């Protein structure tokens, strides 16, 4: 498949991930919708291009592991797994309900394809280091992808794990950092300044790329590059994203970390999304 066709296909996947996220949010009338819309392009390239997995065999030993460290992004992850055929679309109507396999925060014991129970921020990369070491010890060529938020850069455990990954030369570990500059207490960069971020990861011994997290072409290049690096070092993709991407009135909201949407606005959001290319 040529690059233009690949980009078009992945754009449609991202649009479907956004649509499925909105439909799940509509079930509860609230949720982490801003994050889901913002990270949809990253998830589309991950599940539609980069990850090795078997949709009908979530525990296949040869699969790449995708860790959702920011467990409150579960709504986006479920949407990506529905689009990928790992979960059935009929389940989205149970989102956040009692006994659902789709709780509001990701839990490995509930959901096929969910590798860890995330939400205690700063833990995913620590787990990823252990997984990557274990896979290497087993002679398993699978990659570990750890998806995390920029708010997790505030956690000391994140940087301990980053240092450990470089020390062990974990070339099978990829970290995806969603930089949307919002967290519960305000703009991420004001809560705890983290720039120059690329220089910091490089100083910790990582192969670093920074990409527009809402540009499928840029993400495609970044995801391909991390698999082609020959040096035994961990890799990070810093993804700059826009909260609420694809729904203009959500993009413009001042506070998008956890949002409630009035009933008529759900259909308006879906209509706006459907109107985009």
CA nearest to 150, candidates 119, 117, 109, 122: 122
Share above pLDDT 90 across residues of the chain, in percent, rounded to a whole number: 69
Residue 276 has pLDDT above 90, yes or no: no
Judged by DSSP in three states, 235 sits in strand
> What does the pLDDT look like over 192-202, one tens digit per residue?
888 899 999 99
Contact by Cβ (8 Å): 236, 206 = yes
Residue 31 has pLDDT above 90, yes or no: no
| Beta strand segments in the chain, E | 30-31, 65-68, 144-149, 173-179, 207-212, 235-240, 259-260
CA separation for the pair 160, 58 (Å, rounded): 30
Q: Which residue has the tokens 């700059």?
A: 240
Residue 258 has pLDDT above 80, yes or no: no
> What does the pLDDT look like over 59-71, one tens digit per residue?
999 999 999 999 8
DSSP letters for 151-209? GGGG-HHHHHHHHHHHHTT-TTEEEEEEE-S-BTTB-HHHHS---SHHHHHHHTT-EEE
Q: What is the pTM of this model?
A: 0.94
CA nearest to 273, candidates 33, 42, 28: 33
CATH for 3-275 (3.40.50.970, 3.30.160.270, 3.40.920.10, 3.40.50.300): 3.40.50.970
> What does the pLDDT look like over 58-112, one tens digit per residue?
999 999 999 999 988 999 999 999 999 999 999 999 998 888 999 888 889 899 9
CA separation for the pair 186, 192 (Å, rounded): 10
Give CA torsion, residues 217, 198, 53, 274, to 10 deg.
Answer: -40
Q: For the chain, what are the domain ranges?
A: 3-275
* Residue 277 pLDDT level (bands cut at 50, 70, 90): low
């Amino acid at each position: 498949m040529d690059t233009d066709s690949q980009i078009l296909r992945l754009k449609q996947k991202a649009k479907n991930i956004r649509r499925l996220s909105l439909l799940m949010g509509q079930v509860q009338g609230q949720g982490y919708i801003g994050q889901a819309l913002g990270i949809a392009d990253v998830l589309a390239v991950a599940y539609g291009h980069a990850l090795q997995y078997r949709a009908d065999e979530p525990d296949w030993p040869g699969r790449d592991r995708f860790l959702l460290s920011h467990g409150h992004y579960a709504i986006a992850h479920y949407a990506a797994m529905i689009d990928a055929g790992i979960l059935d679309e009929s389940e989205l109507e149970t989102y956040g309900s009692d006994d659902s396999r789709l709780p509001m925060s990701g839990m490995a014991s509930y959901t096929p394809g969910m590798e860890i129970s995330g939400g205690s921020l700063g833990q995913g990369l620590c787990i990823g280091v252990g997984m990557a070491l274990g896979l290497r010890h087993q002679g398993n060529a699978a990659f570990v992808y750890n998806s995390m938020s920029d708010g997790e850069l505030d956690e000391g455990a994140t940087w301990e794990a980053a240092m450990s990954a470089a020390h062990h030369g974990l070339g099978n570990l990829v970290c995806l950092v969603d930089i949307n500059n919002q967290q519960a207490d305000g703009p991420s960069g004001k809560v705890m300044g983290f720039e120059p971020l690329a220089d910091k990861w490089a100083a910790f011994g990582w192969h670093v790329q920074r990409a527009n997290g809402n540009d499928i072409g840029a993400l495609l290049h970044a995801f391909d590059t991390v698999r082609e690096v020959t040096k035994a070092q961990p890799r990070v993709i810093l993804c700059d994203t826009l909260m609420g991407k694809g729904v203009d009135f959500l993009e413009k909201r001042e506070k998008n970390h956890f949002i409630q949407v009035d009933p008529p606005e759900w259909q308006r959001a879906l209509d706006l999304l459907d109107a985009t290319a």
